[in-house]
Structures are given as C-alpha cells and as structure tokens.
Structure 1
Amino acid sequence: MKKKKKLFTATASVLIAATVLSACGSNGGTANNSSGDASPSGENAAGSSESAEQVKLTLWGAVPAEAGPQAVIDDWNKSNPDIQVEYVRYVNDDPGNLKLDTALMTGQDSDLYINYTINRLQKRVDAGVALDLSTKSDYDIDGQMGPDAAQWKISDKYYGIPTKKNMAFIWMNKKMLDDAGLPLPPTDWTWDDLRDYAKKLTKDGVYGLLQHDASFTATIDGTIAGLGVTKADGTSNFNNDLWKQQFQTLHDMMFVDKSTPEYGEQITSKMPVDTMFLKGEAAMLSAGEFIFRNANNLKDYPHDFQIAFATIPQVTKDQPDFKYAGGLGDVLSVNAKSKHQEAAWKFAKWYADGGMLPMASGGRIPSSKSVENKQAMDLLLQGVEDKYDTESMNKIVFGQFPSFQLNVMQQALDARKEEYEKYFLNEQDLDTTLANMAKRHQEFIK
C-alpha cells in the first residue's frame, strides 16, 4: 500500500507541474521583443537603465552550492559589482522541478536556470518562460559548443546554451574486477555481459550492480534513439522487442541472481547508491559524471580502490544505431519573464565560455571551445590522480561516442515509468507492461 501511495504522489507532482506551466504559456515562449531587449515591463522601460543601480539575479541549478556553483558565483560577483548573482539549489526530481517551475511562472526570483533534460526544457518553452535566443546575434552557440548542441534545439531555435559535456557510464571498482579475474569490458558489451559480470562480482554485503535513478533508462533510451520513437506506420514503438529483452534481463538480475537491488527496496529506502559504491558495497554503478563530486571528496567518501569506467551496455551487439545518453547537457536558460534579461544574458555567456570552470572538479566539463580540455582534466584529477584508472577514463569519460537527447514529452515518459515500475514491483507482467506503455504513448502522439 505504501508503494502505491508513493507512486501516486510522484504522479500527482508531475500533473501539478504541468498545470502550473500551462497556466503561464499564453505568450508562446517568446516574452521578449524582436530586438532581444528587455520587455517593456523590465528595467529598460521608461528610460531607466540596468546600469543605474545594482542588478540582482538569481540562478537556479541542481548541483549543491559547495560542489562548484558557489565558487562560480563568487568569481562573477567579485568582478561584476553592478550585477550580483545568487545561487538557488533545487533537486532535479518532480517536486524540485515543480518548485522551479512555480518560481519561473512568477518571474520574481528566477532569472536564470539550468535544464537537465530536453523534455523539461520543452515544457518551459511551451509555458513562455524560456527566452528565445535566436534574437541574440552576439553569441554563436553552434560555433562555441559544436554540432551536438543542435540536439537541444526546439523548433530549430535555441532556448538555452548547452554548457557541459555529458555522459552516463558504468563506474567500476577496479580492485574487485581484478580479484574476480575480470578484464575491463569492450565498448560494445551487452546487458548479457553485464549480467555475467554482476553475478561474478556479487558476494555477501556487495551488490554486483547499482543504478542511479538518472541512469536507470540509459539503455532503453539509447535503443529507442536508434529504432525510432515511432514505427513506420506512425504508431508507438514503446513495445519493441529490445526493450522487452532488457527489462527481462534486469528483472532476472533483481529476483533471480540477486546481483542488483529489487526496485521496490531501492525506491522505498532511497538507497544512496553512489555512497554505497564508494564504500565498497557494490562493484559497479551506472551513473553520470555527477558522481565525481563525491568520488573526489575523500574526506567524506574515503576509498582505497581505483575507479575504472565502461560504456553503458547495449541490449545486443547487432542492434541498429545504438546511441549513448550524453552529448551536451546543463542547458542554461534565461527566464523570459525576468526583469533583468540583458544582465542575465551577459552572465550566461560568461558562464558558458569558462565561468563554470570551477565546477570541473565535480565532473562538469565545459563544452565551450574557449575552454581547453586540459584545464578541466587537471581540475577533475587534482589531488586524486591515483584514484582512477586513467586509461579507461581517457577512453570512456573523455571519449567520443554517438550521443542523443531523447525528445519525448514529459507526460509520455512519466507514463512509461509508471508502467515499468509496476513490472519491477511485480504488479503486472512484462507483456502487459509493454502494451500499456505503447498504448499510453500512442494517446499522447494523437
């Protein structure tokens, strides 16, 4: 009963967020005028000027302030006494995004904000709270960030600057691999290979694999990126055979092999998977680069093993055009309802072209060509050089892989999650799960 209540609460939060955003969507996402200047209600109206008095901006992001953002803000504020920025942290989950969306709607305390998925950004564009950057001619996003930036375009326009290199991968305890006689896997390994590794690495008090919530769907998303979200006839492809195979494999790992936690146990206990991995309670962890901020913090997360890296596995070796969750991320947007759009835009350009560099120590590698990779790598490894297998880090973390941003409306993804949760909670069978996911997705397509 408690499980159902939690699922209902999560679903309700999503519906509330959608209602809040739709209520402020009448301006179509373009609250600025065609010149890119502040709207008449802003501080440029009636002959006033941003420079006449100190401007105060608020930046919302999901990274803890002490993991880099506060250092970024301090650098800016020291050099720009006329434009002072305050950082507000929100948790990147449904309640946290609802809190941000509510602030964006009012326009009073949210001038800049960072988006972590394109479907969240799409909702904010639809709601009119993301500034259309096509009106800005003083910054070349494609030129600065490269071709992967285009994955964040909506209706062929940018509504934010993708600021960092982004990728999910498998974190591996190198000592446990060596003790089990297991080599680092090839880049084209599969979930069958991962299952075999996990079984061999599982022992008393140690899971073979843990998965962070943010990476739970990395393989099925990468699979649908190659297959196509819809079939040739335009109907939903959420019931494809590769998803069925991957869900079955993961279910067997939970309930047959016991090499990864049961879904219900992980969710209800709010299992701290990154902490468990760093404490040696798991041999492998599926997660993104954000784990570096804990892995590099040896005071709070001491560990005596080297960390190696592997790619997110495919379902099968011969599946069509598999892509990796990643590319570019941390898309910095200006609130179209902000009264200080020009000041916010000035900060956004500075942040993207190197201002964010203090966050590299926590794994957030700037994507701008104005920042040298070596600068970011030196910050990332400073003081912890011996804690990583540098060969696999260079190959995987700093490697080049075909990437994607899954552009599916949030409601469809929420519905998909509701259905696969029922399967992993043993409340419905796999065929029913796939059929329901496709049916509900089809309703959104219509």
Structure 2
Amino acid sequence: MKKRILCFLLSAAMLASVTACSGGGDTSSEGSAPAGSGSNAEASQPADSSEPIELTVLNWGSDIDVKINQDAYARLNEKFPNVTVKDNFVTGTATWSEYITKLLTMIGSGNSPDMVMMAIEGVRQLIDNDVVMPLDDRIEGDEDMQAVLDDISPRLVEALAVDGQTYFFPNSWNSIVLYYNTKMFADAGLEAPPADWDWDTFREYAKKLTTGEDNSEDKVYGYGMSTYSIFMTLFPFSNGTSTLTDDQLGSNLSDPKVAEAFQVINDMIYVDGSMPMPEQGMDAAQLFAAGRLAMAAIGPNSVQNMLTADFTDWDVAYLPIQDKENGSHIFGVTGYGILKDTENPDMCWEVIKELVSPETQEAVASAGVSNPVSRSAFETRALEVPKNWEIFYDAIDQNSRCLPAPINDSEYEEILFRYYYEMMNTQQDVSGVLAKADEELQASFDELK
C-alpha cells in the first residue's frame, strides 16, 4: 500500500505545479467525541470508556464548518468527556488535488488521521490506495444511522459507493442550478426560465439578456459559469453523455455528443456573444452578484453571500436539458470515512454519527454554505430569496448524476482544464482539440492498467 501511495504522491506533486491554485491554510480545532451513543452504544464503545482517547480528523471547509463541528463535539462531550477530537481543517483556496495529496502524505509518513472528510473527487483514489475501510456492516447494524439514511436521497449514498460497497457516509452536497437576475429578465421582457427548456431557448434568453459594449464597465453577459470541472461537465451531462466512460475507467471525449456540448459553449462565446471567454479562476457567483451576468450556473454555497450583500433581485431555476431522455443535472457530494490505520474504528463511527446527526445537519442548513444531506433539515431553512429555494434539494430527484471523479482525478482535471481553455480561446470547431484531449486522457487511464 505504501508503494502505491508513494507513486501517487510523485504524480500528484508534478500535477500540482501545473494545476494548483493558492494553497489553503490549516486550522486545528479540538472538541470531545463519544465513546458510544444511540441504540448500539454498548456494542461499539471500548471496554474501558474512561480511558482517554484522542482522534484526529482531516477536514475541509470554512470557519463556519469549523464552528459547526466544534458544536457537534461539545454535544458529544456532555456524554463522553474522555474522548478528544482534533480537527485538522484545510481552509482557504486549496484544490481537492492538494487536499488529497496532503492526506496521502500524512499516511505515507506514518501520521495518518483517524477519519477524513472527502469530496467525490477523491473517493476512488482513496479506495484504490486501500486506505479507507468499508462502512456497510456498521450502517446495516445501526438503527440510528438507518433512520438518518431514510432522510437522505439514495443518489447521494450511491455516489460514495464503489463496487457495491460504501466507504464514506455523506454529510453535505452541492447541486448546480441556474441563478437568474429577475430585474434583468423583467427589463428584457422575459418570463422565468421554463422547466423543460433546451439549448435553443436558453441561447435565445442569453442573447436577449446580453447588453453593453464589449470591454465596457456596463457590459452584461447573458450567461456565465465558473472554471471548475463540475461546471465544465454541465453541457455534456445535459446532452446525455459524459467526459468519461460509464465505469469512469476511460475517456469519452471522442463521443460526438461531447463535441456538440462544448461547441455550444464556444458558439455562445463567439457567435452569440452572450458568454465571456473563460479565464482561470473565473468566479461566476461574484460576476453575477456584481451585475455582470444575467444568468449563471452556481451552487447553494453562494446564497448566504448574496443575502449578506443585500442582493435580492434574483431567483433560481433548473438548467436546460438538451437530451430529454438521457440528459441530467449534476451534483457533487462529500462524506466522512474511517482510515484503516486507526486504532479506534468504533469510536470513529460514533463521531461520524454525530457529524451527520439531525442537530448537525440543521446547523449546515442554517449556515447556507452547502446543502445538508438530510432532506428534513434542508426544509427547515425557508427563504424569501430565492423564491424557488426548494430546487436546491429537489434537483437531486431530477435525474441528477454525480460529477465524474476517476481514480486519476488529478490528471483528469489537469487535462480537462488545459484543453477546455484551448477549445474556448478562439472561435473554432472544437472537435480537433477534443481529439487531442481524448488521446492524452486515455493514455493516462492506460497507465493505470
């Protein structure tokens, strides 16, 4: 296992020099966690529950997430003061590639945490490196967690499973929906986006909403999206395809439907003039809040920032689906897993139970950073803006699929980013660029065999 991790680290280090944004900071917070709780406490807690135990968690998030976890550990500490949980939070603008590399470096150096919060981008990599344990037996034998599962969309659980086994228990997720400026719609004489619209209607809306001279301060584009992999795959998903094969073990960039999807983006930039040319680090949420985009593909994590800025002239709708039979929306999900090197797997399970408990999930909903996985917790957060806030969770029921996240996710994203910018840097037939990208991406997968 250590040899596989070393090989991964050497590869990831080279990729990080190309793809990394600025590094995130580490924030450690401590709290206490349970020796056991719920209906299976006696079976899962150690024989001597008074023995001091310290557990570590590698985590990702903001100061808000740090506070949510501290409160969770404080609740547990009322019952189990002997267990201390140390949260090693990675905050700031680190990429998931950097985060995964940090974890594998810790494991390779003998400093493995007991638990890790991981996004879908790293799930297959960690399972392939054989560093996390399956959770199926624990889930099946725990009445408390069965009740939690009943309140979670099965798609979120299935996204974190590989080959029929569950290695991470979901704690939050992000749906990508369309934010639109209601004032700009009214000024353009447009009604709210129809639920069943396609690309043709979408492009007409975007053209009508585009105003101002190019490069001027009052320029408004009809549509824009951030330059992250989840957004780059929106249009292929809408067209009933993906950048990867169904088993995520090969490139699917040679699929004509992928070329069709990326061609639409290029045409919106250069033919319609309704999209800005993508730039590295482009943040559509900031451009939308600043009034530079009339429509934007954004997740729920931007709601709170817009409300804090007193920006209320907006609502949300579903993004257009082109292939009505096979097209889908897209989502990302995170979950907690237990590392195989831990000496206290039972205690780790109890910690995870609190981190996905109704109280913690309601705190996630209240914070407005990501969607809680609990549907009932999500429904506790009634908002006046956006008016259609329910679709942030309802999107999971609209034939949504999880974003592509292969074993070689770092290389996949680096290749996708590089060729995406090449496809969009000038008006062109994108199929030639995709042919080069397909060859390079498939070679990356072939090296895994």
1:342 correspondence with 2:342: no
User: Cα–Cα, structure 1 residues 401 and 110, in superposed 2: closer, same or farther, change >3 Å?
Assistant: same
Identity of aligned residues (%): 22
Partner of 2:162: 154
User: Cα–Cα, structure 1 residues 103 and 295, in superposed 2: closer, same or farther, change >3 Å?
Assistant: farther
Partner of 1:408: 406
Aligned residue-pair number: 385
Provide the TM-score with structure 1 as the length reference: 0.75
Structure 1 unaligned regions, length at least 5: 1-7, 18-42
Q: Where in structure 2 are the equivalents of 1:11-410 lying within 5 Å? A: 12-13=15-16, 51-61=50-60, 63-66=61-64, 68-80=65-77, 81-87=81-87, 88-90=89-91, 91-106=94-109, 108=111, 110-117=113-120, 119-136=121-138, 137-138=141-142, 139-140=145-146, 143=150, 145-148=152-155, 149-203=157-211, 204-214=218-228, 215-223=230-238, 226=241, 229-230=244-245, 236-263=251-278, 266-267=279-280, 270-296=281-307, 298=308, 301-303=309-311, 305-314=312-321, 316-318=322-324, 320-326=325-331, 329-354=333-358, 355-361=360-366, 362-368=368-374, 371-375=376-380, 377-378=381-382, 381=383, 385=384, 387-389=385-387, 392-395=388-391, 397-399=393-395, 400-405=397-402, 406=404, 408-409=406-407, 410=409
Partner of 1:4: none
1:290 deviates by 1.6
Residue identity in the other structure for 2:259: K
1:52 deviates by 0.8
Provide the TM-score with structure 2 as the length reference: 0.74
Q: Secondary structure at the match of 1:393?
A: coil
User: Cα–Cα, structure 1 residues 150 and 225, in superposed 2: closer, same or farther, change >3 Å?
Assistant: farther
CA distance in 1, matches of 2:425, 2:12: 16
1:289 deviates by 1.6
Q: Is the 8 A contact 1:189 1:317 kept in 2?
A: no
1:419 deviates by 2.4
Q: Is the 8 A contact 1:415 1:441 kept in 2?
A: yes
Residue identity in the other structure for 2:399: P
Partner of 1:424: 424
Residue identity in the other structure for 2:225: Q
Q: Is the 8 A contact 1:108 1:338 kept in 2?
A: no
Q: Secondary structure at the match of 1:356?
A: helix
Q: Secondary structure at the match of 2:111?
A: coil
User: Cα–Cα, structure 1 residues 288 and 126, in superposed 2: closer, same or farther, change >3 Å?
Assistant: same
Q: Is the 8 A contact 1:72 1:356 kept in 2?
A: no
CA distance in 1, matches of 2:193, 2:425: 30
1:100 deviates by 3.7
Q: Is the 8 A contact 1:57 1:83 kept in 2?
A: no
1:177 deviates by 1.1
Q: Secondary structure at the match of 2:357?
A: helix
User: Cα–Cα, structure 1 residues 97 and 182, in superposed 2: closer, same or farther, change >3 Å?
Assistant: farther
1:146 deviates by 4.3
CA distance in 2, matches of 1:442, 1:51: 54
Q: Deviations over 1:163-215 (max 9, x none)?
A: 23541111111111111111111223233333222222222332222212344
CA distance in 2, matches of 1:57, 1:9: 24
Q: Secondary structure at the match of 1:207?
A: coil
1:157 deviates by 0.6
Q: Is the 8 A contact 1:55 1:343 kept in 2?
A: no
RMSD: 3.5
Structure 2 unaligned regions, length at least 5: 1-10, 21-44, 212-217
1:440 deviates by 3.3
Q: Secondary structure at the match of 1:60?
A: strand
1:433 deviates by 1.8
Q: Is the 8 A contact 1:188 1:313 kept in 2?
A: yes
CA distance in 1, matches of 2:342, 2:16: 25
